[in-house]
Amino acid sequence: MKKCQSFFFISQIAYLCRMKAEIITIGDEILIGQTIDTNSAWLGEQLHLQGIRLNRIITISDAHQEIIRAVDESFSRADLVLMTGGLGPTQDDVTKETLAQYFGTTLVTHPEVLRGIQDFFASRGREMLEVNNKQADLPKDADILMNMRGTAMGMWFERNGKVLISMPGVPYEMKGIMRDHGFEKIRNYFKTEPIIHKTVLTQGLGESFLAEMISDWETSLRNEGLSLAYLPSPGMVKLRISGFASNGNAEAIEERIDTYITELRRRIPENAFGSDKQTLAEVVGSLLQERNQTLAVAESCTGGLIAHLITSIAGSSAHFLGGVVAYSNESKVNLLGVSAQTLASNGAVSEKVVKEMANGARDKFNATFAVATSGIAGPDGGTDEKPVGTVWISLAGPKKTVAKEFNFGKSRSRNVSISALAALNWLRNEIFNRELE
Amino acid sequence: MKKCQSFFFISQIAYLCRMKAEIITIGDEILIGQTIDTNSAWLGEQLHLQGIRLNRIITISDAHQEIIRAVDESFSRADLVLMTGGLGPTQDDVTKETLAQYFGTTLVTHPEVLRGIQDFFASRGREMLEVNNKQADLPKDADILMNMRGTAMGMWFERNGKVLISMPGVPYEMKGIMRDHGFEKIRNYFKTEPIIHKTVLTQGLGESFLAEMISDWETSLRNEGLSLAYLPSPGMVKLRISGFASNGNAEAIEERIDTYITELRRRIPENAFGSDKQTLAEVVGSLLQERNQTLAVAESCTGGLIAHLITSIAGSSAHFLGGVVAYSNESKVNLLGVSAQTLASNGAVSEKVVKEMANGARDKFNATFAVATSGIAGPDGGTDEKPVGTVWISLAGPKKTVAKEFNFGKSRSRNVSISALAALNWLRNEIFNRELE
């Protein structure tokens, strides 16, 4: 309906576009804190990525009057209302009836939806109940957004150039409906300009430090009309680059973004480890797979987290042979072959011991590479010489074994997770550079 | 002001109390999906636990007019408004000025707050900036709720018997302010009746199955005016029992709840593993500590998660000796002493192999107990005989080694986490029952 355009400025997005959206979340389980509303965060991010301004998120209970009031209010402020929840087959869920009434329509059985629901149950070998038949009763004057992952359909209502989309609250059903139909329909209806986003994942540089290192690159990128967002989490910073693809110049914009990404990776090759939804464990796994190499781990302070991250990736058994969680000194000696003498004279958290752990793991598992960690995760156990947060990481390869000392601060859980990421990223670099072979 | 009372009914809480609350969350980072609003979930749960009905959660951007409008609307519907965010020292944050104007007061320097902020910086050895001085400028006619964990104070405003509390958005600062001052001030001001809650943690029974098993217990509990909530998560169900302590009978109510908890634990001793904020790893750790016993693990399908859960508990090095993540068959043989013959004739996912893994871990680490897992986590690797989700768990002790087969379904991540919890809970039972010694 409206032609919509947004512009990006330094460090924040200014939407010149007048199109606004609101989210209405229906659910008592959210109001009583039993469920955290992750749907709104996901929808908020997706709208933002499409250049649509989210004005408000409102959570209300599953009650007729509350729904009517909230929709009225949101329509008075916004062009697009995304509603989640309240579409279950039980009597508690009044959203469908309420919306049908609000938009002056009635519920009728949609035969193609009924067949879809019957197929859904049949394909899972589950018996279909009478209440599930009712889920095919949907508003006559709404577009049905088929739910391929469940039995509550999405519904698209229009009034005076404004749109309301109602979806079930189950996150993966809601996301499926938006990805399958919702976003495209929104783009077509509101004629929004597509925005292109690419994310570069970095490890090992703090947000401020990174920003300083790449400030001229960032300035040049912004001068070309692209925008940049820093998204930090413990041990990592994601950099998201965005650009508008107006007048069908999507390919040109994509190329321009890629040029900046190539330049960024050239500048911080040791830190930029991947893109978009990748994980470090996945990137390390692919590298090993490509080269037909294998990995083993020897973990003390990380206590199994590195193995857990690696084995969370399906198919990891092809390159990951296993590991030893050597929490006691005795197990470092017995399972990894660390010398009792080295332990006694250097202590477990030391360069020599961590190297012997890495060598031991490599030998015992007969792996190409091994990574080892030994540190003081906290909150107790620190000394003046080795304060809480001291972590030694070692990498062993066919030709060389190396080690580095780190300190990641005082929180036990941060220490453990940052150590695991630092170890995986260093390993990635060494596999790539082939300096241990 | 108002005398407030609530009543609990079967499966849902009906608040006869007319007192209502709303939450206003301020933050562009939430609207663009960069941050998930966990504050509202926590506040929602806490209000619910105090018998106060949460009517709405509203998220808005950090803009003067938006804040005024949202407060006006919330005050028209509710007696208590909890506001988080927008209190930083930079110019983006306009909440403090906006609220001072809204409540017809001005900002003045609060000397005791200024001293508090100076102490905060001094104790951390950090330099105090000019902008931080401004954080001691606070509304003249508000009660200050001191923030002991940061520099943005909480503020309590009153108007016509209604209350607005403004707090910083950093979760642990917000929670600290509510715990230190907020909830008590709310109870006193609105004269709410205290509610007593206790939670029993269970592992290994699905929600519906558990509900059926304890239905007479639940009925009797409800007939006594207590209420029950089922809070499920993968592999676990938490049971929260609540009761009103009117007329100062808190002790009597607590005793009544304890009687029901004792009866519940008597009925499902193998499943009820702990209470309130405990974790399974913590309960297992305490049991081992008490008995001066030690533990080792041998993980295949759980890939390090059991070790990670155990070592997440500070002090676990006292009873946890370590583990082997034996992802390859070769590592099962070389590191755990599983017989190559057993592996060849039974396959890795079998009773015999998992028992040999447990025995091997117990021997190699010289531990009192060992737990082992071997299964097909998925998504690939299943056969007709051993479908995806098949998991063998074994426990080895001084006198006996036992094993059981489970199937936890098709999702890799669910399989891994449910297997880890099932293994830890079974271990807890065997340590407790001393049947392996």
Domains and CATH numbers, chain B: 7-190 (3.40.980.10), 195-275 (3.30.70.2860), 280-433 (3.90.950.20)
B4, pLDDT greater than 70: no
The CB density around residue A194, as the number of other CB atoms within 10 Å, is: 15
Higher-scoring residue by pLDDT: B293, B88 = B293
DSSP H or E run through B431: helix B412-433
Distances (CA, A) of B44 to B21, B48, B364: 9, 6, 49
Task: Note whether A369 and A427 are within 8 A (CB).
Answer: yes
Q: pLDDT band at residue A230, thresholds of 50, 70 and 90?
A: confident
**pLDDT bucket at A273, cuts 50 / 70 / 90:** very high
The answer to whether residue A304 neighbours chain B at the CB level (below 8 Å) is yes
Q: Does B421 score more than 90 pLDDT?
A: yes
For the segment B203-213, the average pLDDT, to the nearest whole number, is 91
pLDDT in tens, A235-262: 999 999 999 887 778 899 999 999 999 9
State pTM to two decimals. Answer: 0.86
Please state which of the ranges A42-51, A82-91, B253-262, B373-382 shows the lowest mean pLDDT. A82-91
DSSP code of residue B192: B
pLDDT tens digits, one per residue of A335-360: 999 999 999 999 999 999 999 999 99
Amino acid code (one letter) for B323: G
Q: Which of B282, B300, B335 to mutate to probe the A interface, most A CBs <10 Å?
A: B335
Q: What is the DSSP letter of B19?
A: -
| pLDDT at B28 (0 to 100) | 87
Total count of residues recorded for chain B: 437
For residue B199, the distance in angstroms to the closest alpha carbon of chain A comes to 14
Per-residue pLDDT averaged across B347-363, rounded? 98
- Which distant-in-sequence residues (6+ apart) come within 8 Å of A154 by Cβ? A144, A145, A146, A147, A165, A166, A167, A168, A177, A181, A182
Averaged pLDDT, B135-160: 95
Share of chain B above pLDDT 90, in %: 77
C-alpha to C-alpha distance for A353 and A336, rounded to whole angstroms: 10
- Most confident among A230-234, B150-154, B400-404 (mean pLDDT): B400-404
Best mutation target among A15, A28, A32 (most B Cβ atoms within 10 Å) is: A32
- At B123 the pLDDT is 84
Residue A7's pLDDT is what?
41
The pLDDT tens digits of the residues spanning B243-277 come to 988 777 889 999 999 999 999 999 999 999 999 88
CB within 8 A of B148, min separation 6: which ones? B176, B180
* The pLDDT value given to residue B250: 84
Residue A335, chain B, CB below 8 Å: the answer is: yes
Q: What residue in A sits closest to B333 (Cα-Cα)?
A: A365
Chain A residues with beta carbon closer than 8 angstroms to that of B297: 325
Average pLDDT over residues B100-129: 91
Indicate the pLDDT class of residue B7, thresholds 50, 70 and 90. Answer: very low
As a residue count, chain A comes to 437
The amino acid present at A215, given as its one-letter code, is S
- Nearest CA of chain B to the CA of A47: how many Å? 8
User: Do residue A322 and residue B326 have CB atoms under 8 angstroms apart?
Assistant: yes
Please write the tens of the pLDDT for every residue from A152-200.
Answer: 999 999 999 999 999 999 999 999 999 999 999 999 999 888 788 999 9
Q: What pLDDT, on the 0 to 100 scale, is given for residue A18?
A: 64
What average pLDDT score do residues A316-323 get?
97
CB contact under 8 A, A45 and B34: yes
Contact between B312 and A327 using a beta-carbon 8 Å cutoff? no
Segment (H or E) for B432: helix B412-433
Query: Predicted confidence band at A16 (pLDDT cuts at 50, 70, 90)?
Result: very low
What pLDDT is recorded for position A8?
A: 39
Place of tokens 């930083």: B88
Angstrom distances, CA of residue B368 to CA of A22, B421, B436, B437? 58, 20, 10, 9
Q: Which pLDDT band, with edges at 50, 70 and 90, does B17 fall under?
A: low
Q: What is the mean pLDDT of residues B103-124?
A: 92
Element (H, E) at B363: helix B351-365
pLDDT of residue A246: 75
Cβ neighbours around A237 below 10 Å, total: 21
Query: Nearest to residue A322, comparing CAs of A297, A299, A356?
Result: A297
Rounded CA-CA distance B288/B320 in Å is: 9
Residues A112-137: tens digit of each pLDDT: 999 999 998 888 888 888 888 889 99
Strand partners, B84: B25, B167
- Residue bearing tokens 């988080």: B84
* Shortest Cα–Cα distance, B146 to chain A (Å): 24
On chain B, the residues whose CB falls within 8 A of the CB of A321 are: 327-328, 330-331
Q: Which residues of A324-348 are buried (b: 16+ CB within 10 A; e: fewer)?
A: bbbbbbbbbbbbbebeeebbeeeeb
Encoding tokens for residue B154? Answer: 């909480």
- Cα gap B28→B62, rounded to integer Å: 7
DSSP string, B34-92: SS--HHHHHHHHHHHHTTPEEEEEEEE-S-HHHHHHHHHHHHHH-SEEEEES---SSTT
The verdict on A389 touching B (C-beta cutoff 8 Å) is: no
Q: Do the Cβ atoms of B364 and A331 come within 8 Å?
A: yes
Candidates A60, A314, A322; nearest CB to B379 = A314
The tens digit of pLDDT for each residue in B379-420 reads: 988 999 999 999 999 999 999 999 999 999 888 999 999 999
Q: Is B335 on the interface with A (CB under 8 A)?
A: yes
Band (pLDDT 50/70/90 cuts) for residue A363 is: very high
User: How high is the mean pLDDT of chain A?
Assistant: 92
Give residue A115's pLDDT.
94
Minimum Cα–Cα distance from A31: chain B residue: B44
Please give the Cα distance from A35 to A26 (Å, whole number). Answer: 12
Tokens of A302: 């990380």
More confident residue, A126 or B114: B114
Instruction: Average the pLDDT over B132-141 and give the result.
Output: 92
Q: How confident is the model at residue B2 (pLDDT cuts 50, 70, 90)?
A: very low
Query: How distant, in Å, are the alpha carbons of A45, B19, B104, B271 from that of B158?
Result: 36, 15, 11, 48
Q: Is B332 helix (H, G, I), strand (E, B) or coil?
A: helix
According to the model, what pLDDT value does residue B15 have?
A: 46
Q: B212: exposed, middle or buried (C-beta count within 10 Å: 0-12, 13-18, 19+)?
A: exposed
Q: Among A421-430, B5-14, B19-28, B67-76, which stretch is predicted with the lowest mean pLDDT?
A: B5-14
- Name the band, by pLDDT with cuts 50, 70 and 90, for residue A88: confident
Alpha-carbon distance values, A273 to A202, A281, A289, B249 (Å): 6, 10, 16, 60
Q: How confident is the model at residue A4 (pLDDT cuts 50, 70, 90)?
A: very low
Question: B143: which 2 tokens?
Answer: 């009660």
Q: Quickly state the pLDDT bin for A396 (edges 50, 70, 90).
A: very high
B37-77 pLDDT, tens digit each: 999 999 999 998 888 999 999 999 999 999 999 999 999 99
pLDDT digits (tens, 9 = 90+) for B98-111: 999 999 999 999 99
Tell me, yes or no, if B364 comes closer than 8 A to chain A by beta carbon. yes
- Kindly state whether B173 is in contact with chain A, defined as any CB-CB distance less than 8 angstroms: no
CB contact under 8 A, A56 and B55: no
Range of weakest confidence among A62-71, A127-136, A197-206, A372-381: A127-136
DSSP letter (8 states) at residue B179: I
ipTM: 0.85
The answer to whether B39 and B47 are in contact (CB under 8 A) is no
Residue A322 to residue B320, Cβ atoms within 8 A: no
- Taking 60 as the threshold, does the pLDDT of residue B10 lie above it? no
Backbone torsions φ then ψ of B328, nearest 5 degrees:
-95, 155
pLDDT for B29: 87
B334 touches A at CB < 8 Å? yes
Judged by CB atoms closer than 8 Å, whether chains meet at B317 and A330 is answered as no
Those of residues 29-88 in A touching chain B at CB distance below 8 A are 30-38, 40-48, 54-61
Task: Choose from A178, A335, A374, A424 for mutation: most chain B CBs within 10 A.
Answer: A335
